[in-house]
Amino acid sequence: MRLTLLSLCAALCLCLALAPARAESLAQIAAAHAAAIEKPSRTTIGPVIDALAASGDPMAAPFLQAWGSKGLGRRKSDGAFFLLAPDPAGYALTDLTGAPAGTSATSEITELKPNAGVRGLIASALVAFTLSDPDPARRAAALESIAADPKAESLDPLRAAVETEPDPVLKARKLRLERLLTLRFDPDSAARVAAIEGFGADAGLDLRAALSPLVATKRAAGPIPPEGANVARTLTPGGDISEAEAYAVLVDAGLAPARLRPEDQKTALAAHIAEGKVGGVPVADLSSQAARDRAYTALEQAGTVPTAATDDEVTAALAANPVYEIYAEPDPAVTAAATRALHEIGLKVGAMQAVDLGLDALSLASIYFLAAIGLAITFGVMGVINMAHGEFITMGAYTGYVVQLWVPDLTLSILIALPLAFALTFGAGVAIERLVIRHLYKRPLETLLATFGISIALQQIFKNIFGTQARPLTAPAWLDGAWVVNDVIGISYIRIAIFVLALLFLGFFLWLMKRTRLGLEVRAVTQNPAMAASMGINPDRINMLTFGIGSGIAGIAGVAIGLFAKVTSELGSDYIVQSFMTVVVGGVGNIWGTLAGATMIGTLQKLIEFLNPSNTLAAQTYMILFIILFIQVRPRGIIALKGRAAGD
């Protein structure tokens, strides 16, 4: 039957590809094969399908579909065939050209109802029709439909359609789908094993979905495994499976009665006390479980209580009836090949998950680095603990939002927002440094409290201006989507852009510190402010510019972070703790230390989230505890500051 169906589908596809258009109309075919259509069988349907395939008539496929779904009828008065649809008058008719043909009473129409075997052949022929359709879009849709609901009936038509496929991309898809169906449905065991092994190191989701049913198992029990069963393993009660689960398998299989519950046993024994005994066991002896079991067994034998298993009977039943895991797939060669393939795929997927986790950690590290680099400048150079640093990030994000209100072009708005955010936050930072911080140098506690107050004040200002609702900061279209390597590894374009921006600022900072006079003066003030002042450098001016630059970089970070995070007045507070941890762990006053700290914290956070994905709060707690322990070991951070400033 398989060869007959394959030959039929091959002939169908060949006819579709080579036959001249409309060699014979659908109406002519229906008239010529009326008897076979009205009373079809598996042996008489072949010529009808061949003729329909050779016709090239666009109504051939709808005709087959209606025939297979019992939506085809024949009018009794003249024998004409129609496609049927429900109608209040009976049937709404569509003729074989596709034109409406009015309505008819049900008594005037003979509804054709092919049997299941014929419907299966019609379904296979429909697949072949669609797979060989002249329209590539319809052929692609047919492949998607088969992939979504794979069936054994689709295998032969798919094989027949492969050779006649002119599109190389669709042909490759057909070949892959054919192999996926082969490993599941081909009756030849060797062909299935070859199809599994032919995928090699492939780890696609479609392959995993096709292999998983081959290694699915069910549980069975008995003195010996069921005849012909493909046993995966024998389960050990109390080890591979709990005793309660194992006994439940026996009960479901009818090999043992339901387990006796202690409360039911006590109730039954109490109800059958006679002359100070229960089942021949004195009531005084029923304090032990063994005695209660003997009494209940005696009552069972007398037929006075329902049959139920006591503890000793459960133990005996489990010993006499091992529990097995049996593959749903009966062929051991296929399950062995599928198990090997899934094991190799698991190793590869694990490696890809590690790569994906690394990309996520790198992405998070770039965000933390971008958020912390401004703080590293002010904290490292000035020794100022700026608790308002997060609000400069928020200010930058709101700047991007306001720019987008006035500039509808998203790409242009971002290009405008980045320097504008730097300018605004630079000015705000200079103002705060001139008005507040300059009066509090060498007084870290007062500086911390003052900047904390500024942080609260700025948050309230943001709420008064923009409200408490999140504001949209929309990324340009070219930042939509993600760079997807496969179904495991992928990273959004926004994260990639932030990573590139972090690298640019790393380069900018190195250029500023190593190649400019300002950088030379900043390094001098960092190492020894008094000596720098004696060389003609104004530490007060350097502190002002340093604080302004650090604040400006925070503003740019806010624009970048706002592209994927909610822009609210609390945006900066979500990153201030990580920013401080990044600076402290990396090493105060060292840009490479900040980079190392961001990398360590980002990697650590992603690793903890991977190990404990259901509790992000716990992940944050574990990360903070780890960092506290790390600082105990390396109080100066990963890369400690060298020189005179290291002793400050």
Measured from the Cβ of residue 505, the count of other Cβ atoms closer than 10 Å reads 21
- The full set of domain ranges for the chain reads 2-132, 218-327, 350-469+490-643
CA distances from 609 to 347, 397, 489, 575, 615 (A): 21, 27, 17, 17, 8
Q: Is the per-residue pLDDT at 369 higher than 50?
A: yes
Structural contact between residues 552 and 374, judged by C-beta atoms closer than 8 angstroms: yes
For residue 618, is pLDDT > 70?
no
CATH architecture of 350-469+490-643: Orthogonal Bundle (1.10)
Average pLDDT over every residue of 96-123: 83
**How is residue 257 annotated by DSSP?**
P
What integer pLDDT is reported at residue 380 of this predicted model? 66
CA 447 to the chain's CA centroid: 47
| Mean pLDDT of the region 88-114 | 86
**Gap between the Cα atoms of 166 and 134, Å rounded:** 10
Q: What is the mean predicted confidence (pLDDT) over 171-180?
A: 90
pLDDT confidence of 333, banded at 50, 70, 90? very high
On the question of pLDDT at 502 being above 90, the answer is no
Coil, strand or helix at 237:
strand
Question: The dihedral of CA 161, 164, 169, 175: what is its sign?
Answer: positive
Phi and psi for 522 in degrees, rounded to 5? -65, -45
- 525 or 343: which carries more pLDDT confidence? 343
Closest to 80 (Cα-Cα) out of 88, 68, 69, 91: 91
pLDDT reported for residue 495:
84
Q: Which residue has the tokens 């374009």?
A: 493
Q: What is the mean pLDDT of residues 294-322?
A: 83
Residue 422: the pLDDT is 92
pLDDT at 3: 40
CB 465 within 8 A of CB 332: no
Q: How long, in residues, is the chain?
A: 648
pLDDT tier for residue 580 given thresholds of 50, 70 and 90: confident
Residue 354 pLDDT exceeds 70? yes
Q: How many Cα neighbours within 13 Å face the side chain of 547?
A: 27
Q: Is the pLDDT of residue 15 over 60?
A: no
Q: What is the four-CA torsion angle of 230, 233, 234, 236, rounded to 10 degrees?
A: -160
- Which residue did the predictor score with more confidence, 318 or 486? 318
Query: What is the pLDDT at residue 107?
Result: 85
Number of CB atoms found within 10 A of residue 475's CB? 18
Count of C-beta atoms within a 10 Å radius of residue 76: 12
Portion of the chain with pLDDT greater than 90, in percent: 10
Q: Which two tokens stand for residue 10?
A: 């091959």
| pLDDT tens column, 438-463 | 888 778 788 888 988 999 999 999 99
User: How does DSSP classify residue 516?
Assistant: S
Q: What is the pLDDT of residue 191?
A: 92
Q: Which residues pair with 86 in a beta bridge?
A: 91
DSSP three-state, residue 614: coil
Q: Which token pair is 98? A: 């596709």
Provide the pLDDT confidence category of residue 589 given band limits of 50, 70 and 90: low
CB-CB contact of 391 with 454 (8 Å): yes
Packing angle of the helix pair 410-435, 539-562 (nearest 10 deg): 150
Q: Is the pLDDT of residue 7 over 80?
A: no
pLDDT class of 1 with cuts at 50, 70, 90:
very low
